[in-house]
A and B are shown apart, each in its own frame.
Chain A
Amino acid sequence: MNSTKNDNNSLPMGEMSGGQRGNLYNYILGIADNSLILAQRLGELCGHGPNLETDIALTNISLDLLGQTRSYYQYAAKVEGAGKSEDDIAFLRLEREYKNILLVEQPNTHFGYVMARQFLFDIYHLMMMKELQKSKDETLRAVANKGIKEVSYHKRFSSDWIKRLGDGTEESHGKMQEAIDDLWRYTNEMFQMTAADTEMAEAGIGVDVSKFKEAYYKEVSEVLKEATLTVPESKYFAKGGKEGIHTEHMGYILADLQYMQKTFPNMTW
């Protein structure tokens, strides 16, 4: 069981009300769960990539996300102050308590989906991380400062692949377009603010993600156009992940993720 010491919070936790702590806790989980579930999805691919170089790169991204996840959960455990570990938070919640967006739980249907999911998330993730670097919360700022280089690389990697596959062969173009079209409906959820998001943004701790929605779609569209892909026009979007209402895939992800902790409770590994 690991824990990180983070005693320099700008808003001393002792001075936070129970409600504020709860919101900070929920806010951290909202960010962390995205990284956990995406890392888990990428972890499924390890050893099955289209070539060795890509396999290694995807595993790298998974490892980066997992590293960020751990820092967030360690901090969340401290904020909650209930004596939990990062693993308790990662593994021992009910599906309805996971707050990740629906996009990251979508399956590795084919490599086009893997890259589309990554790309649509990375553009958002980098924007969010840049803002998080300005957080009044020292721990979140530190995680963002450390993660920013990683996420910049993820974005470059996935954007390059979108261009390669979009503007590659006829087959790859079709597959890439299919994936973008299918996953498009999960993009809008990123910019929805939960109660915890709003309060933390107002306190200068969290990021107001709603304000870079326009910039997000602009940047995504530019890459898609360069990749000779069509920007989907659909106005119908899915939501629910942030409130813990997930797609049907989520239960199976958790069945794997939680298998050991649920089968053998209260043990050290």
Chain B
Amino acid sequence: MSEKEIKNLEEIFEARIARDEKIEPKDWMPEKYRKTHIRQMSQHAHSEIVGMLPEGNWITRAPSLRRKAALLAKVQDEAGHGLYLYSACETLGITRDELYEQLHTGKAKYSSIFNYPTVTWADMGAIGWLVDGAAIINQVPLCNTSFGPYARAMVRVCKEESFHQRQGFEIMLTLSKGSEEQIAMAQDALNRWWWPSLMMLGPTDAESVHTEQSMKWKLKRKSNDELRQQFIDQTVPQADLLGLTVPDPDLKFNEATGHYDFGEIDWDEFWQVVKGHGPCNKERMNARVNAWDNGEWVRDAAMAHAEKKEKKKLKKVS
């Protein structure tokens, strides 16, 4: 294809996006669009899969049968989200094995929040309330993103995430109405998860490398800082409702702006975790790699068995 032809296609493509038309996998798309989507969608899928681990850590120890079932179902939902996000990603011409390879070798990233340990039951509440809360803020705009399979996957993901968030808040609410130990447990969880949750919304706008292009493709509709402000404004009153204290001495409602002012985020910590040196980066990756490696003989067997069956079928036909 000549440069002129490509340019022409690009113009048509950008015009379609501007008209809010959905781009489907078989449509022509610029290589950069394809790559950016593979990067973002796979990062999202990996986050779902790695995100199963910190919560999975409490399944066997959930305090009641009802909570155990709800937690199992929640972690299973995350596997489901991973599954359709990987599938959506595969429509762009990359295999799931390749995507796993990128995760396992550290080439692909996942949300850093999952590199923090879950040390008490209250963390199950805090993760649902704060982490899923921040995720929803990030993800709701994606229901209208330009790439069709991603947008459709996100509609379902967001519905379930919103359910998870309410569930998390309900765990916190139960704790906050409970015994002294339970209230302390809830406060401690808020203390530990608050700042990492704010970091989840990404580096400040000045440091964010992908924002401009992503805005154009509707992969992003608001900047990281705007999203973070939205999250804080929404969450602080919920903390008040729980009777818990947000661990930020600088947090204060600003009458003039109508938003909460908040303290400095420890970006050194953020980058440390992103670069692989958080409290559980190694453990999370080991768990994923082990599951994959230990499952190899199982996947090989399933493949071999399917081939044998196919051969038998063919033999019968001939």
The segment out of B34-42, B56-64, B141-149, B246-254 that lies at the interface is B56-64
The bracket for how many chain B residues form the interface is: 35 or more
- Is the C-beta of A70 less than 8 angstroms from some C-beta in chain B? yes
Other-chain residue from A50, A257, A267 in contact with B178 (beta carbon distance below 8 A): A267
- Is the C-beta of A256 less than 8 angstroms from some C-beta in chain B? yes
Whether A267 lies near B86 (C-beta < 8 A) is no
- Is the C-beta of A247 less than 8 angstroms from some C-beta in chain B? no
Q: How far is the CB of A258 from chain B (nearest CB, A)?
A: 9
- Is the C-beta of B80 less than 8 angstroms from some C-beta in chain A? yes
Whether A164 lies near B305 (C-beta < 8 A) is yes
- The total of interchain contacts (Cβ-Cβ below 8 angstroms) comes to 139
Whether B298 lies near A43 (C-beta < 8 A) is no
Whether B60 lies near A268 (C-beta < 8 A) is no
Other-chain residue from B56, B63, B67, B304 in contact with A46 (beta carbon distance below 8 A): B56
Chain B residues in 8 Å Cβ range of A86: 65
- Is the C-beta of A51 less than 8 angstroms from some C-beta in chain B? yes
Whether A48 lies near B291 (C-beta < 8 A) is yes
Which A153-179 residues have C-beta < 8 A from chain B?
163-165, 167-169, 171-172, 175
The B interface, classified by DSSP as helix, strand, loop or mixed, is: helix
Q: How far is the CB of B288 from chain A (nearest CB, A)?
A: 9
1/0 per residue B8-49: CB within 8 Å of A? 000000000000000000000000000000000000000001
- Is the C-beta of B153 less than 8 angstroms from some C-beta in chain A? no
Given the complex of chains A and B, what is the CA–CA distance between A91 and B67 in angstroms?
A: 13
Q: How far is the CB of A137 from chain B (nearest CB, A)?
A: 22
1/0 per residue B216-240: CB within 8 Å of A? 0000000000000000000000000
Q: How far is the CB of A37 from chain B (nearest CB, A)?
A: 11
Q: How far is the CB of A173 from chain B (nearest CB, A)?
A: 8
Given the complex of chains A and B, what is the CA–CA distance between A86 and B296 in angstroms?
A: 39
Which A33-83 residues have C-beta < 8 A from chain B?
40, 43-44, 46-56, 59-60, 62-63, 66-67, 69-70, 73
Given the complex of chains A and B, what is the CA–CA distance between A168 and B299 in angstroms?
A: 10
Whether B179 lies near A260 (C-beta < 8 A) is no
Q: Given A48-B287, A49-B291, A51-B295, are A87 and B61 neighbors across the interface (CB < 8 Å)? A: no
Q: How far is the CB of A265 from chain B (nearest CB, A)?
A: 10
Given the complex of chains A and B, what is the CA–CA distance between A48 and B56 in angstroms?
A: 9
Given the complex of chains A and B, what is the CA–CA distance between A67 and B171 in angstroms?
A: 20
Chain B residues in 8 Å Cβ range of A43: 59-60, 68, 72
Given the complex of chains A and B, what is the CA–CA distance between A149 and B292 in angstroms?
A: 31
Number of residues on chain A facing chain B (CB within 8 A):
49
Which A199-241 residues have C-beta < 8 A from chain B?
none
Whether A50 lies near B299 (C-beta < 8 A) is yes
Given the complex of chains A and B, what is the CA–CA distance between A172 and B182 in angstroms?
A: 47
Given the complex of chains A and B, what is the CA–CA distance between A167 and B86 in angstroms?
A: 29
Q: Given A49-B295, A52-B86, A171-B300, are A269 and B174 neighbors across the interface (CB < 8 Å)? A: yes
Whether A172 lies near B300 (C-beta < 8 A) is yes
Q: Given A168-B304, A260-B121, are A46 and B76 neighbors across the interface (CB < 8 Å)? A: yes
Whether B60 lies near A44 (C-beta < 8 A) is yes
Closest-by-CB residue of B relative to A269 is B63
Chain A residues in 8 Å Cβ range of B302: 164, 168
Chain A residues in 8 Å Cβ range of B121: 260, 269
Chain B residues in 8 Å Cβ range of A53: 83
Chain A residues in 8 Å Cβ range of B61: 256-257, 259-260
Given the complex of chains A and B, what is the CA–CA distance between A163 and B303 in angstroms?
A: 12
Other-chain residue from B83, B287, B290 in contact with A52 (beta carbon distance below 8 A): B83
Q: Given A43-B60, A256-B60, are A63 and B72 neighbors across the interface (CB < 8 Å)? A: yes
Chain A residues in 8 Å Cβ range of B94: none
Which B260-318 residues have C-beta < 8 A from chain A?
287, 290-292, 294-305, 308
Whether B301 lies near A87 (C-beta < 8 A) is no
Chain A residues in 8 Å Cβ range of B65: 66, 69-70, 73, 86-87, 90
1/0 per residue B65-108: CB within 8 Å of A? 11111001101100110110010000000000000000000000
Whether B49 lies near A52 (C-beta < 8 A) is yes
Q: How far is the CB of A26 from chain B (nearest CB, A)?
A: 20
Which B115-134 residues have C-beta < 8 A from chain A?
121
Chain B residues in 8 Å Cβ range of A268: 174, 178
- Is the C-beta of A2 less than 8 angstroms from some C-beta in chain B? yes
Whether B305 lies near A163 (C-beta < 8 A) is yes
Whether A59 lies near B83 (C-beta < 8 A) is no
List 9 A-B residue pairs with CB atoms under 8 Å apart, sorted by A's residue number: A43-B68, A63-B73, A164-B301, A164-B305, A167-B305, A168-B305, A260-B62, A267-B182, A268-B174
Given contacts A63-B72, A163-B305, 12 further A-B contacts (CB under 8 A): A49-B291, A49-B295, A50-B292, A50-B296, A51-B298, A54-B295, A55-B79, A70-B66, A168-B301, A168-B302, A264-B182, A267-B63
